[in-house]
Structure 1
Amino acid sequence: MALRRNTAARSIGSAVAAGLALMRVSFARGADRRRLEQLLTELVQQLALMTEEIHRANLTQYYRLIADQNDRKLDDPTLAEASSTLGGLSDARRRQMIFANQQYGSLVLAHRVGVIGWDELLGHLRVLCINSVFAEYWDRTVDHRRSLPPDSVEAKIGATVDVMMEELAEEPDEWWVVGSVPGSEPEPEPPAHG
């Protein structure tokens, strides 16, 4: 983690130094001007990459906080009950639902930060969908997903899982091919700016 911060700090320092150099010679002409434009383009590209990396790091940290809370809920049934919106569950079943949510969330995170691509995500989701606990979790949380913005990555992944669940209900013996909708990959998230 410290290495990532140091690399980012060096990149930011390099970008600032390049920006200051550009400001000092803003009235350059000809070849100097083209070189300055090239440096400015490179600077903007570095800043965009750093912004994306910071966004992925923030997203990972957010999921880490959620996972820590879920771990506490798994250890303490009173905390699980206090945060659950699913009624009529035994303590053991509530823990299973929390764990199913955590498995799904981990896959979504892995895709969002670029650890796994769309096809690999579909493969993991296919396996997860054949699990009866996950199937119950998915059915019980349909209203939760309705609150997601329809154009969000998570809503699009959820819609894909909905298709998988429907196809599994029709052809349970062909679980390895459900959800293979061509061109169904959600658009990548735009980089965070700010």
Structure 2
Amino acid sequence: MFTKMHAAEMLRCVVTAGLGIAAGAVATSAAQRRTFDALDARLKYLERTTQTQRHTNLTYQQRLHWELLSKAMDDADLAEVLDAYGEGVSTKRQRQYLYANAMYTNMVLNYRIGNFTRDQFYGYARGMLQNPIVREYWHATQPHRATLDSATEEAQLGLMVDDLLHQLEEADIDEWWVVGEPPPA
């Protein structure tokens, strides 16, 4: 009888211990899940903060770029510092090139911070390239874009505009707004 009671008591202890271990595992798992969820929420917050800071930095850089270009457009002596187009570019044309650069840089910024989709960027570029001065500017600055790291977003957008300009120059239709397809992202 002692053996049966001892065996039953031991079985009850083992079952109780097993249930205790299982309950502890469930509690630990729930606590880990809460910790994981809290860490995940914090990570998402930090990612949003980082993205917001990146957009702020890009916007600030764009503002500085515009201020520098504005000074150069207003002062021929300062514009000479930015003259990297080669011989034969008049002061008037150089100022127009600086303005075309400001327009293009603004489009790039809008794309990079998410105000434009890739298709919208492409559409704006197509419209911009209807102006002969902008086309001339784009050709004059090709050597500048050639120095960009081809893996950068800026270089990829420039190549996309290069291709679009080539398609527009080769097109034999007056409906420029239908020329070209943006490459897949």
TM-score computed with the length of structure 2 as normaliser? 0.80
SS state at 1:179 partner: coil
Larger radius of gyration: 2
**How far apart are residue 171 of structure 1 and its match?**
1.2
Greater relative CO (CA pairs within 8 A, separation 6+): 1
2:148 aligned with 1:145: no
Partner of 1:66: 65
> How far 1:49 moved relative to its partner?
1.3
Letter matched to residue 175 of structure 2: E
Q: 1 CA distance for matches of 2:149 and 2:183? A: 22
Cα-Cα RMSD: 1.4
Question: 2:95 & 2:175 partners in 1: Cα distance?
Answer: 29
State the SS of the aligned residue for 1:29: helix
The size of the alignment, in residue pairs, is: 157
Task: Measure how far apart 1:169 and its partner are.
Answer: 1.0
Q: Check whether the contact 2:119–2:182 (CA below 8 A) recurs between aligned residues.
A: no
Is contact 1:67–1:102 with CA below 8 Å preserved after alignment? yes
Partner of 1:89: 89
- Do the aligned partners of 1:161 and 1:179 also contact (CA within 8 Å) in 2? no
Mean alpha-carbon deviation: is it higher for 135-144 or for 155-164?
155-164
- Letter of the structure 1 residue corresponding to residue 162 of structure 2: D
Alignment of 1:1-194 (within 5 A): 29-87=28-86, 88-171=88-171, 173-183=174-184, 185=185
Partner of 1:190: none
- Unaligned 5+ segments in structure 1 are 1-27, 186-194
Structure 2 unaligned blocks of 5 or more: 1-26
Deviations 1:36-78 (A, max 9, x none): 1110111011111111111111111111111100010111011
8 A Cα contact 1:160 1:179, kept in partner: no
How much does 1:182 deviate?
4.2
Q: Is the 8 A contact 2:118 2:182 kept in 1?
A: no
